[in-house]
């Protein structure tokens, strides 16, 4: 994709998006689950409805796919298999959301799409239509989708128009902050597949703008203005990161940049984009969480810090850390990318939902 962009053949993200197209599968129903592509609140979703008799009201999972807010689709084979299995094994309605993507759409469009679907689905009449128990609804997502799930959970907890409260949240190697691009995990895994530091910086910057100046500032970790200093306490990995993840690294605050970028792109300092920036009072209202992190992943420390902050706020948290895991592993569920690791991580999520949703 980089070579094609340099040669002027195709923009970078369009080249990357070809991976998505190759992975797409049709919405195919089977003996256990009815699968359809439809819309909720004018946003495309892939809907999974269990076929067996409910035996009472069902669980529901609102799922947001990963892909750096730029790539991905609910119809990719990995996401289809995840949603199908959750629906079948937990007798749950699964709504997998196809939110709009960057670079055509920047923050907060992606958040607004998933929030609109979530708020619509949580209406009593809609829950009733699908036979869903209003006390057993969860948000979940991986990577950028984990970011969106965390942000949606925070916003729902404060929305006076939403009467139904989430029962749980599942955050799978989530991206949770755009303030510090020099965490130990960014250093340790800068060049590891499938998500290098440079690609994550590209995803974050494209979420806000296609202007190269922001990407360059983020790459040097000089994109946050001095006046944002008070927010750094929320992403202080010297405080929030377990000692075994800090390793031999020593904490230093990111160097302050100018104010121009933050003024042009206020999403940089918005908790809807960086849920780790939420105050403790806001975190206190959140539902129980499963936070899944992988050792060989630049986003490892985002999830670990969020788990620590949630615990400090009194939220029940299960932090599952895969010491042999890498970013994106959960979707490696079918040939030619069928890994035992992917199935193990999915088992962890399904088992937790079975016990907590």
Per residue in 315-337, pLDDT (tens digit) is 999 999 999 999 999 999 999 88
Q: Is the peptide bond before 288 cis (omega within 30 degrees of 0)?
A: no
Q: Which residues pair with 277 in a beta bridge?
A: none
Q: What is the mean pLDDT of residues 166-192?
A: 98
Query: Is the pLDDT score of 4 beyond 70?
Result: no
pLDDT of residue 164: 97
Q: Give the β-pairing of 33-40 and 168-172.
A: unpaired
Question: Which pLDDT tens digit goes with each residue over 196-249?
Answer: 999 999 999 999 999 999 999 999 999 999 999 999 999 999 999 999 999 999
pLDDT of residue 7: 59
pLDDT of residue 275: 98
Q: Tell me which of 337 and 311 has the higher pLDDT.
A: 311
Q: Which residues are catalytic?
A: 143, 297, 327
Helix count and strand count (H, E) for the chain: 15, 10
> Which residues lie closer than 8 Å to 53 by C-beta, 6 or more apart?
none
Q: Mean pLDDT in the chain?
A: 96
> 3-class DSSP state for residue 214?
helix
- Residue of 306, 293, 290 lying closest to 241 (CA atoms): 306
**Tokens representing residue 160 in the block:** 């006076």
The answer to whether 170 and 303 have CB atoms below 8 angstroms apart is no
Q: Tell me which of 9 and 312 has the higher pLDDT.
A: 312
pLDDT of residue 12: 80
Question: Which pLDDT tens digit goes with each residue over 6-42?
Answer: 656 677 888 888 878 889 999 999 999 999 999 999 9
> 3-class DSSP state for residue 174?
coil
* Residue 5: band (very low, low, confident or very high) from pLDDT cuts 50, 70, 90: low
**pTM flag (> 0.95):** yes
Distance, in Å, from the CA atom of 288 to the CA atom of 286, rounded to the nearest integer, reads 7
Question: Which pLDDT tens digit goes with each residue over 70-91?
Answer: 999 999 999 999 999 999 999 9
- Residue of 112, 176, 115 lying closest to 144 (CA atoms): 176
Question: Which pLDDT tens digit goes with each residue over 261-285?
Answer: 999 999 999 999 999 999 999 999 9
* Residue 306: band (very low, low, confident or very high) from pLDDT cuts 50, 70, 90: very high
Query: Is the pLDDT score of 1 beyond 80?
Result: no
* Residue 175: band (very low, low, confident or very high) from pLDDT cuts 50, 70, 90: very high
Q: Give the β-pairing of 58-64 and 43-50.
A: unpaired
Distance, in Å, from the CA atom of 217 to the CA atom of 201, rounded to the nearest integer, reads 10
Question: Which pLDDT tens digit goes with each residue over 125-134?
Answer: 999 999 999 9
What's the CATH fold of domain 2-356? Answer: Rossmann fold (3.40.50)
Query: Is the pLDDT score of 2 beyond 90?
Result: no
The full set of domain ranges for the chain reads 2-356
Q: Tell me which of 211 and 54 has the higher pLDDT.
A: 211
Q: What is the mean pLDDT of residues 36-63?
A: 96
Q: What is the mean pLDDT of residues 86-100?
A: 98
């Amino acid at each position: 994709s980089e070579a094609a962009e340099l040669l002027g053949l195709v923009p970078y993200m369009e080249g990357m998006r070809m991976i998505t197209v190759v992975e797409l599968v049709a919405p195919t129903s089977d003996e256990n689950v009815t699968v359809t592509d439809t819309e909720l609140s004018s946003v495309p979703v892939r809907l999974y409805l269990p076929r067996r008799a409910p035996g009472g009201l069902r669980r529901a999972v609102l799922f947001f796919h990963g892909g750096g807010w730029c790539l991905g689709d609910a119809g990719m084979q990995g996401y289809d298999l995840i949603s199908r299995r959750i629906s079948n094994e937990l007798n749950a309605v699964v709504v997998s959301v196809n939110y709009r993507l960057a670079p055509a759409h920047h923050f907060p469009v992606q958040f607004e799409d998933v929030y609109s679907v979530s708020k619509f689905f949580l209406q009593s009449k809609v829950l009733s239509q699908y036979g869903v128990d209003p006390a057993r609804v969860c948000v979940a997502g991986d990577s950028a989708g984990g970011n969106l799930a965390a942000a949606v959970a925070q916003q729902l907890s404060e929305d006076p128009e939403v009467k139904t409260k989430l029962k749980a949240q599942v955050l799978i190697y989530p991206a949770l902050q755009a303030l510090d691009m020099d965490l130990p995990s960014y250093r340790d895994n800068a060049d590891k597949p499938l998500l290098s530091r440079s690609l994550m910086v590209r995803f974050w910057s494209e979420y806000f703008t296609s202007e190269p100046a922001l990407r360059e500032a983020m790459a040097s970790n000089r994109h946050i203005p001095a006046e944002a200093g008070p927010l750094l306490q929320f992403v202080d990995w010297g405080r929030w990161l377990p000692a075994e993840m800090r390793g031999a690294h020593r904490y230093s605050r990111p160097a302050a940049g100018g104010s121009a970028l933050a003024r042009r792109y206020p999403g940089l300092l918005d908790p809807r984009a960086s849920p780790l920036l939420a105050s403790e009072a806001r975190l206190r209202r959140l539902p129980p969480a499963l936070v899944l992190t992988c050792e060989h992943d630049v986003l490892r420390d985002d999830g670990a810090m969020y788990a620590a902050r949630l615990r400090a706020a009194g939220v029940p948290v299960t932090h599952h850390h895969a010491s042999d895991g890498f970013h994106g592993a959960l979707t490696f569920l079918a040939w030619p990318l069928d890994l035992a690791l992917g199935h193990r991580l999915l088992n962890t999520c399904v088992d937790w939902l079975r016990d907590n949703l």
